[in-house]
Amino acid sequence: MDRELLEMTASELVAPGKGILAADESNGTMSNRLAAVGVEPSSEARRSYRANLFATAGYESAVGGVILFDETMRQSMDDGTPIPDALTARGVHPGIKVDTGAKNLAHHPDEKITEGLDGLRERCSEYFQMGARFTKWRAVIKIGDGMPSAACVSTNAHALARYAAICQEQGLVPIIEPEVLMEGSHDAQGCYDVTAEILDATFAACKEQGVHIPGALLKPNMIIAGNDCPIQISREEVAMMTIDCLSKHVPRDLPGVVFLSGGQSDEDATAHLNLMNQIEAEHPWQLSYSYGRALQSHALKTWAERS
């Protein structure tokens, strides 16, 4: 494990004023989004859209890294430059989603376990050679009747820690993403409690696996009531509760927290992060974004209209 390389990469990804663009939609998801804006889905259409996105003038001033899908990692810009090389030339770190998706957790209806540990070491070695410098693995935690179960929390925490350890071994900064879903009728306190539980379990597992925390990043949800909850807290309360939860359940030597938008509107996701950075609460990490839809939705529509 090259600790110096990991720490340098992690710090550059969350340098002041910079965040991470999540452009790692699966082929199926990206095809659906293309179809929704009137573009015939294909590998070339996905390449063309993303190449246009990564050719945007000046985006490197606000983006420290881009998470790619495997297909995109192997594609090229319009001029033939491999996409990872084009990103690196702009001072942007290429990243790669390495999990293989959330699958049903045996004997636990409606709960998921993220898979992808088999062959991960070999995949990470290849991705590093292709230019990747960080990775992402997403666990999904659902709140509901009797959920999350202890089994769901423990198995996902263990998988996140094993993933992080393997990636660091190969020189890649792991983004640890335990997402508590907005789906449900739970209130904000319910979200807070479950987020605290999964964070505690995940970082305990990381300690057991020897994960170097200063060479990793966290991609958590914000503390928000479920979509079906009749009582939605204010933006200011979202910011305060999120900072409070992280302050009590995230190691202080973690270099940065990059929030997922989690289905929030573009405006809410941006406003919540802005408020968190204005709060005069003492915390040691950089707070930034790792947004996908919240950054790309308008760009996709504009590209489709001009194409």
CATH number assigned to the domain comprising residue 184: 3.20.20.70
Active site residues: 219
pLDDT for position 280? 82
Question: 68 burial class (0-12, 13-18, 19+ CB within 10 angstroms)?
Answer: buried
Distance (Å, whole) CA 267 – CA 264: 8
Distance (Å, whole) CA 77 – CA 31: 19
pLDDT for position 299? 87
Q: Single out the residue of 132, 127, 135 nearest to residue 97, CA to CA.
A: 135
What mean pLDDT value characterizes the chain? 95
pLDDT for position 292? 83
pLDDT for position 29? 93
Q: pTM (2 decimals)? A: 0.94
pLDDT for position 262? 81
Please check whether residue 290 is in contact with residue 20, taking contact to mean a CB–CB distance below 8 angstroms. yes
Which tokens in the block code for residue 164?
């992080």
Biggest CA–CA distance in the chain, Å, is: 53
Q: How many domains does the chain have?
A: 1
How many CB atoms are located within 10 Å of the residue 235 CB? 16
Q: Which portions of the chain are predicted below pLDDT 50? A: none
Domain that holds residue 112: 3-306
pLDDT for position 205? 99
pLDDT for position 264? 83
